[in-house]
Chain A
Amino acid sequence: MENKLRGKSAIVGTGHAGFGEAPGLTAYDIMAEAGLAALADAQLKLSDVDGLFCTMMEDSMPALMAAEYLGIRPRFVEGTMTGGSSFVNYITAATMALAAGLCDVVLIVYGSNQRSGSGKLVTASRPPPYEQIYRPRYPISAYALAAARHMHEFGTTREQLADVAVAARAWAQHNPEAFERGDLTREDVLAARMVSDPLTVRDCCLVTDGGGAIVMVRSERARDFPKPPVYVLGCAAESTHRQISQMPDFTVTAARESGARAFAAAGVSPSDIDVVELYDAFTINTVLFLEDLGFCEKGEGGAFVEGGRIAPGGGLPVNTNGGGLSCVHPGMYGIFTVIEATRQIRGDAPGLQIANVDLALAHGNGGTLSSQVTAILGSENTL
């Protein structure tokens, strides 16, 4: 995103639905409930929506399916599929479309019933052609390969990875919306069932139902809605590969580039950020993204997350809702990083509210560490 788009758009509504288990609902039902909740949050109606940004796991034309279901005829439709980062990625195109006057009210929306529907990740995609024969367990084996290399190069330990899961659970224990709120210790993670070395089932995100949505408008009318507007200060993306075997460096993600450009667009640096919401599909993600986004040096992510540094009361609030590891993970989690960042800035977080949040970072990951998108959101004070 160019600097000239800084602060041009704002999030004026968020919504979610079907967290945890939503038996009897289709993915599109959950999508619609999340969308309606976000519109209600902004005191808008479906008939106000003229920009629809959506992708789902089950269809080849999910945005069209969503528009049909909702009974709307959007004049701007975006459905680019970059995996779980898609919904952070849409923020850039939504800002451009709003700024250009191509639409006036944007709804970014997602829903999934993967827990009730199948109990595992649903995908409409063809398996990676040069990998499937080796039967890696997707997506965990891809992240396991990255984690193993990080441990080899930097001495990162399973204990440090476990601390990521423990911190996420500690946040979730304060969040009534979170799905997993039982006690979790480092020892529990280490002793959990190994799935793809070095990652155990407790290094993995949840498999839940759930949907999320946000409503965006041009900033000039952002104060006309009931909730405090949250402004888009910067949003940037980069992708490196699709198949994990093609990842250029297994210890460095494109978050290095997406983060640097998002920070430049926003005119802020990592030390300015009050809360950090990262797509933590696996514990190694949090370590990689903290490094690549500049919160610590490359290779120091393991030590950085040790001992509660990113847990409640630690030095840096990370994944304050409990993240994909403990709050919700319905196949694609990206939109929930934006929702939690927005609520932290507005001051209505469902769990622990960090005091005086002006700047929040939401980071989406898609594919197998393939697509990285960083958004920097700010309160009115940051304009």
Chain B
Amino acid sequence: MVLPKCNACGRFHFFPRVVCPHCYATSFTSHEVSGKGEIHTTTVVRRPPDRGGDYNVCIVELEERVRMMSRIEGVAPPDVEIGMAVIAYAGEIDGTPAVLCRPEGG
């Protein structure tokens, strides 16, 4: 996974844009990141089983100190906990690119 890093202040941001939201500089370099992070907050969206059942929506905070919405895979929705160590990765949902998470070491 690649994130923009500001050439002026050295901080990362998400989502990509043409101005740094921290220092307002306009020059960035793309950096490959590990995806290491933790679940900052989480919810179970309830849905009837015949329409696909419950699913997770979470906010992941990467070690680069950026946050984004995501979904954790491989953990039952009620078992997702704040603080859980995860790896974020570039995946897809219904054919559309999306950042997904899996438990670290899982």
The minimal Cβ–Cβ distance linking B17 to chain A, given in whole angstroms, is 11
Contact A245 B59 (CB under 8 A): yes
Q: Which residue of the partner chain A has the closest CB to B14? A: A130
Q: Within 8 Å CB of B44, what residues of A?
A: 194, 196-197
Q: Is A195 an interface residue (CB 8 A)?
A: yes
Contact B82 A149 (CB under 8 A): yes
Contact A250 B40 (CB under 8 A): yes
Contact B70 A145 (CB under 8 A): no
Q: How large, as a class, is the contact surface on chain B?
A: 20 to 34
Contact B93 A134 (CB under 8 A): yes
Q: Contacts A245-B67, A245-B68 known; A196 to B45 CB distance under 8 Å?
A: yes
Q: Within 8 Å CB of A355, what residues of B?
A: none
Q: Is A131 an interface residue (CB 8 A)?
A: yes
Q: Within 8 Å CB of B15, what residues of A?
A: 129-130
Q: Within 8 Å CB of A196, what residues of B?
A: 43-46, 57
Picked from B14, B40, B41, B98, the residue with its CB within 8 Å of the CB of A134 is B98
Interface residues of A in 138-197 (CB under 8 A from B): 141, 144-146, 148-149, 152, 193-197
The minimal Cβ–Cβ distance linking B3 to chain A, given in whole angstroms, is 13
Q: Which residue of the partner chain A has the closest CB to B78? A: A197
Complex: A152 Cα to B70 Cα, angstroms? 19
The minimal Cβ–Cβ distance linking B65 to chain A, given in whole angstroms, is 12
Q: Is A137 an interface residue (CB 8 A)?
A: yes
Chain B 48-82 against A: per-residue CB contact (8 Å), 1 yes, 0 no? 00000001011100000001111100000010001
Contact B68 A145 (CB under 8 A): no
Contact B41 A152 (CB under 8 A): yes
Q: Within 8 Å CB of A193, what residues of B?
A: 46
Interface residues of A in 109-139 (CB under 8 A from B): 129-131, 133-137
Complex: A4 Cα to B56 Cα, angstroms? 50
Interface residues of A in 204-246 (CB under 8 A from B): 243-246
Complex: A198 Cα to B82 Cα, angstroms? 13
Contact B45 A137 (CB under 8 A): yes
- Among A130, A141, A148, which residue has the most Cβ atoms of chain B within 10 A? A148
Q: Contacts A130-B68, A134-B70, A245-B68 known; A152 to B82 CB distance under 8 Å?
A: yes
Q: Within 8 Å CB of A135, what residues of B?
A: 45, 55, 57
Q: Within 8 Å CB of A146, what residues of B?
A: 41
Complex: A204 Cα to B96 Cα, angstroms? 31
The minimal Cβ–Cβ distance linking A193 to chain B, given in whole angstroms, is 8
Contact A136 B59 (CB under 8 A): no
Q: Within 8 Å CB of A243, what residues of B?
A: 69
Complex: A316 Cα to B42 Cα, angstroms? 32
Complex: A198 Cα to B43 Cα, angstroms? 7
Q: Contacts A130-B68, A131-B69, A136-B69 known; A145 to B98 CB distance under 8 Å?
A: no
Q: Which residue of the partner chain B has the closest CB to A130? A: B15
Complex: A227 Cα to B31 Cα, angstroms? 64
Contact B43 A148 (CB under 8 A): yes
Contact B42 A141 (CB under 8 A): no
Chain A 38-58 against B: per-residue CB contact (8 Å), 1 yes, 0 no? 000000000000000000000
Picked from A130, A133, A144, A245, the residue with its CB within 8 Å of the CB of B93 is A133
Give 10 A-B pairs besides A145-B43, A148-B82 with Cβ atoms closer than 8 angstroms: A130-B14, A130-B69, A133-B96, A134-B57, A136-B43, A145-B59, A196-B43, A196-B46, A197-B44, A246-B67
- Could you list some 26 contacts between A and B, CB below 8 A? A130-B15, A130-B68, A131-B69, A133-B93, A134-B69, A134-B98, A136-B43, A136-B57, A136-B69, A137-B45, A141-B57, A145-B57, A148-B41, A148-B42, A148-B43, A148-B82, A149-B40, A194-B46, A195-B45, A196-B43, A196-B44, A196-B45, A197-B43, A197-B44, A245-B69, A250-B59
